[in-house]
Chain A
Amino acid sequence: DAGITQSPRHKVTETGTPVTLRCHQTENHRYMYWYRQDPGHGLRLIHYSYGVKDTDKGEVSDGYSVSRSKTEDFLLTLESATSSQTSVYFCAISESRGTHLAKNIQYFGAGTRLSVL
């Protein structure tokens, strides 16, 4: 199994509170990703990182921020959680992105189930 640890695995919080999810990898992969998975929507990219302090927005980035101060850690922060952010969040890592020269093979963590009440 790829060395990806997500914490916490489960969290219940109240609307308006800040929440930070952590993804830790031991593979030294350059790229890291945060997705959310919701019924009827599949996996949607929130933010991704292509190196330390290098991040960019994904498809559903509103209400989320990220930080990557070390290669091994990628944090996802909900500044003020809303009920619409109740979801399962997955972190993924890859050595390369999908170009004509390389495959974007991603390895996923076990997920964090977040409930915002």
Chain B
Amino acid sequence: TQLLEQSPQFLSIQEGENLTVYCNSSSVFSSLQWYRQEPGEGPVLLVTVVTGGEVKKLKRLTFQFGDARKDSSLHITAAQPGDTGLYLCAGALLDYGGSQGNLIFGKGTKLSVKP
């Protein structure tokens, strides 16, 4: 069962363009995280959001947590080739039986930024 829908799955853009990645769910999360993964490596945490409506900025990356804590978005302004990688969202479910608190991952967005 896919509890966290991430879109788009693939994104190929030119340097300088803007892009947005979305994560949506019908479930409520106590927190939501965004990770970035490069080939041959493990995911690396970019940001954690915990409050509904929260917006966090990390240089050219803007992360937003939905008011109801069910969805999130990642916006990249003026993308650069160094932004290329796999972006993963992950939510900690408030109510998932015995697995409460474990992270549920989206399937990822593979971003390619061409010079």
What residues of chain A have their CB less than 8 Å away from a CB belonging to chain B? 4, 33, 35, 40-45, 48, 56, 58, 90, 92, 97-100, 103-111
Contact = CB atoms under 8 A, between A and B. Distances in A.
A100 B51 CA distance: 10
A36 B94 CA distance: 23
B101 A110 contact: no
Interface residues of B, number: 30
A42 B107 contact: yes
Most interface-central of B30, B40, B91, B101 (chain A CB within 10 A): B101
Contacts of B50: 103
Nearest to A40: B107
B72 to A, nearest CB: 14
- Name B's interface SS: strand
Contact of B105 (A42, A48, A100): A42
Given A42-B105, A42-B106, A43-B88, A100 B94 contact: yes
Contacts of A58: 99, 102
B98 A56 contact: yes
A55 B57 CA distance: 36
Interface in B95-115: 98-103, 105-108
